[in-house]
Amino acid sequence: MKNKLILMFMLCLIFISCKQDPDLYLYEDMDNLKDEQKTLIEVLKKTESKEMSFAVKDRIAKNLKVKKKNKLLIVFLSSLVENDPDDTYKGYWLLMLANEYMEQKMNEPAAYFFERVIKLDKDMEISGKSIQYLSLKNLINITNDPKRLVEYYSLLLSNFYDSIDPAYSYFMLAQNYEKLGEWNLAIQSYSKFIGLGRFDLIIPGIPDNYGYARKIVDYSSSTKSWTVESLDELLSVIKSAIQRKDYDTLERYRSKVNFFSMAWKQELSDIYGSPDFSLRNFMYGTYIKIEPEIDPSSTPHEAYLKTSGWNQYSRIWYLYFRKVNFPADPEIHGRWEWAGIYYGEKI
């Protein structure tokens, strides 16, 4: 409604200024293109061919674009859309109109017209690309609403699977389900993402996207019996088990979701599941020293405990503990787990 009022207002202004010739705005101040615009307008009035009419309208619009008559171009395109709702090329004009608004940094009306494109009964192609596909991609770029993004990514996956990176789309679909608190649907989407095996996928801001998705899916299907209410309680259990060389307890309290063992300089990507060794082998016949306090770099959400004396090329291990971030299950969300091991002095 808001966009229609703007259009009506602009049309009224032009009508008032162009009482003698309602098409004056299409050729006035067009310099070297003025005569061409006049000729195109005359051809448009006389032709009965839909194809010719489309070509002429397209040329008029592009001439306005060349002369940077952006506001007048918006008025012209809007008139094409609203005056002939059954136009075969309506989707094309809607897309051009949406793109023009987007170029002018007017994302709200741009989204309105992109939405109209994706809701059309019939799709069409421009330079070999679907206008509905192009509109969905643009909507994703200018939209922050997770509910709408769920709709857009779902449409991409169902209608344009072969034209997109499905792994990226499934991950982003899951992310937006997560923002909406739709955890079952988020887990389903993360599972589909994992099934595609895209360990190499790069998503800005989420460097270990595969590990993150795997963690969510594994949390959902695990017993979570290794989690503890507080960090102090977990530290007490682990320290006592190391001192007693109680391997079974250490194994029991080691996270069953994405537990890692790595050097400080290693990347966390490609390190999934439990390490392929038994802690027993690295404790046998040696005294493990445990620092009395956690490392000063620890935060309210993660903690590091320095230990030394292990039977390995690196005798210093930092045990890594973190708060569980899994809102889907309030019973474990915010509890603590022993999540991994860093080898060597802390960098």
337 and 236 in a common domain: yes
The answer to whether residue 66 sits within a structural domain is no
337 and 260 in a common domain: yes
Q: Give me the residue label for tokens 């809102």.
A: 327
DSSP symbol at 301:
S
Structural domain of 240: 231-343
Number of domains in the chain: 2
CA dist., res. 290 & res. 305, Å (int): 8
pLDDT at res. 139: 98
- CA-closest candidate to residue 117, choices 140, 135, 97: 135
pLDDT at res. 12: 53
For residue 209, the domain's CATH number is 1.25.40
189 and 249 in a common domain: no
pTM of the model: 0.78
Q: What's the number of CA atoms in the CB half-sphere (13 Å) around residue 82?
A: 15
Buried b (16+ CB within 10 A) or exposed e, 204-230: eeeebbbbbbbbbbbbbeeebebbbee
CA dist., res. 147 & res. 167, Å (int): 20
Using DSSP bridges, classify how beta strands 302-308 and 316-323 pair: parallel, antiparallel or unpaired: antiparallel
Determine which helix (DSSP H) or strand (DSSP E) holds 130, and give its type and residue range. Answer: strand 129-130
DSSP E strands: which ranges in 174-253? none
CA dist., res. 263 & res. 257, Å (int): 19
331 and 253 in a common domain: yes
Start-to-end CA distance of the chain, whole Å, equals: 58
Last residue of a domain, one of 194, 221, 248: 221
The answer to whether residue 243 sits within a structural domain is yes
238 and 175 in a common domain: no
The answer to whether residue 208 sits within a structural domain is yes
Last residue of a domain, one of 174, 202, 221: 221
Cα 230 off chain centre by: 33
> Is 144 in contact with 125 (CB distance < 8 Å)?
no
- CA-closest candidate to residue 18, choices 61, 76, 60: 76
For residue 260, the domain's CATH number is 3.10.450
Which of the residues in the chain have pLDDT under 70?
A: 1-20, 267-277, 285
DSSP E strands: which ranges in the chain? 125-126, 129-130, 260-263, 289-290, 302-308, 316-323, 336-343
The answer to whether residue 20 sits within a structural domain is no
Residues 6 or more apart whose Cβ sits within 8 Å of residue 293: none
Structure tokens at 87: 């136009």
The answer to whether residue 297 sits within a structural domain is yes
